[in-house]
Amino acid sequence: MEIDLSRPILARNDQLASRNRERLEAAGVFALDVLASPGAGKTTTILATAALLRDRYRIAVIEGDIASKVDAEKVKAHGIPAVQINTGGACHLEADMISRALDALPLADLDLVIVENVGNLVCPTEFDLGQGARIVILSVPEGDDKPLKYPQIFALADAIVLNKYDTMHVFDFDEAAFRDAVRHLNGGAPIFPISAKTGEGVEAWVAWLSERVDSARDGGLQT
Amino acid sequence: MEIDLSRPILARNDQLASRNRERLEAAGVFALDVLASPGAGKTTTILATAALLRDRYRIAVIEGDIASKVDAEKVKAHGIPAVQINTGGACHLEADMISRALDALPLADLDLVIVENVGNLVCPTEFDLGQGARIVILSVPEGDDKPLKYPQIFALADAIVLNKYDTMHVFDFDEAAFRDAVRHLNGGAPIFPISAKTGEGVEAWVAWLSERVDSARDGGLQT
């Protein structure tokens, strides 16, 4: 006999995610779920994003990791409030973890919550967290073929950030092939080439995000 | 009520893994499980390894991916037999997938089977495949803090390959900090800095692997 427990688990997660979403919308807070491989530059991208937006919005970060507080410490060192979730082995964040992290944040005094998911291009795909948007960060060193190998996560992204763009000359990354592969999976998601390290391209990405934060703050519908 | 299905699933996987191990040992074949993030250079490292060893050993590759045949095609283009496993969403290989892949290979005519696991630093850790050794490949662009964030996979590795070593000048990678973090988790695993692209360092790594392949071929005990 086989019991498929994935359906009830996902159904329960979806319920909790809806509750998170209602709570965020009521508070006028936009939540961004950041998905990527280990080492694609999630934390650096979040810091570069916050650096451009912190005068305009009140920002907090939720850090998801199997273990360690490395990332939350890094974020706090920049004066941005951060909550660390250690999943203790689990390969993705779930809505109930976010719910508890939101309890620890002063939602009424925030405009933007950035959630850094566990470094993983597979497991987070099925778990709605209640976010306003999900982005996938791919870094140039990982190679242009990743959308072919991890199609689900590229298919569900609201935007794609192509990070470490400043190292393009060091790697054999075929940007046209990458864009083609993404287009086949996801016609709607814009692609933002950036270097979180040098700041190149970050403004265009931040403009996209700001539109959504403004819309959440105004109580508008999120798309 | 909560039912923990992970124990029976893992117990069944361990049984099948033991069967794979007996089968490989009986055939004098060494199986290497290659673990890494997406884009760390698993396929390139396997090709660089096979290039140095193909005159000495009869080699086949088992490719694990969520989707696509990109990697198996790449390996076959180099004249090395390859079996592609598409997990259809699953974030790791399991022993029964390897068992079926071994059915498709002429085991009696092989010395070395290299298994490229799904790109993931979390999920494959708990699933024994019946391999003779497991290695983790970390690439320099991913950053030196990965052992802190993904400790389990570094703890169980028999060896660690530090790939894309030729790009060290482009990234802020603290090699001493990386080696320290690995030592805390895993005192026994040697670290091999290599560039699978330029060939730098590959010989030392291949010497380590060859010892184990020879030992399996001679019917000796694998360590």
Contacts of A102 by beta carbon, 8 Å cutoff, 6+ apart: A20, A23, A24, A113
- The CB density around residue A183, as the number of other CB atoms within 10 Å, is 13
The answer to the question of residue A169 being in a domain is yes
Contacts of B86 by beta carbon, 8 Å cutoff, 6+ apart: B65, B66, B67, B68, B69
- Which chain B residue is nearest to residue A197, measuring alpha carbons? B171
The answer to the question of residue A199 being in a domain is yes
- Which chain B residue is nearest to residue A151, measuring alpha carbons? B67
Per-residue model confidence (pLDDT) at position A221? 45
When pLDDT is averaged across residues A75-82 and rounded to a whole number, the result is 96
The answer to the question of residue A167 being in a domain is yes
Name the β-bridge partners of B166. Answer: none
Is residue B68 within 8 angstroms of chain A, CB to CB? yes
Q: What is the pLDDT of residues A99-148, one digit of tens each?
A: 999 999 999 999 999 999 999 999 999 999 999 999 999 999 999 999 99
Residue B4 has pLDDT above 70, yes or no: no
When pLDDT is averaged across residues B135-164 and rounded to a whole number, the result is 97
The answer to the question of residue B58 being in a domain is yes
Is residue A152 within 8 angstroms of chain B, CB to CB? yes
CB of A68 closer than 8 Å to CB of A86: yes
The answer to the question of residue B2 being in a domain is no
Q: What is the pLDDT of residues B55-104, one digit of tens each?
A: 999 999 999 999 899 999 999 999 999 999 999 889 999 999 999 999 99
| ipTM of this complex | 0.90
- Which chain A residue is nearest to residue B173, measuring alpha carbons? A39
The answer to the question of residue B1 being in a domain is no
Is residue A148 within 8 angstroms of chain B, CB to CB? yes
Handedness of CA A175, A180, A185, A191 (dihedral sign): positive
The answer to the question of residue A1 being in a domain is no
- Coil, helix or strand at residue B11: helix
Residue B199 has pLDDT above 90, yes or no: yes
**Band of the pLDDT at A8, cuts 50, 70, 90?**
confident
- Can you give the pTM of this predicted structure? 0.93
The answer to the question of residue B222 being in a domain is no
How many domains are contained in chain A? Answer: 1
CATH number of the domain to which A203 belongs: 3.40.50.300
Per-residue model confidence (pLDDT) at position A3? 57
Residue B21 has pLDDT above 90, yes or no: yes
Min Cα distance B68 → chain A (Å) is: 6
**Band of the pLDDT at A4, cuts 50, 70, 90?**
low
Min Cα distance B155 → chain A (Å) is: 13
CB of B34 closer than 8 Å to CB of B116: yes
Considering only CB atoms, which chain B residues are within 8 Å of A167?
A: 141, 167, 170-171
Q: Which residue has the higher pLDDT, B147 or B88?
A: B147
CA distance B98 to B83: 10
Q: Between chains, do B149 and A66 touch, taking CB under 8 Å as contact?
A: yes
- Which chain B residue is nearest to residue A148, measuring alpha carbons? B68
Q: Which domain holds residue A129?
A: 6-217
- The CB density around residue A168, as the number of other CB atoms within 10 Å, is 15
Contacts of A221 by beta carbon, 8 Å cutoff, 6+ apart: A215
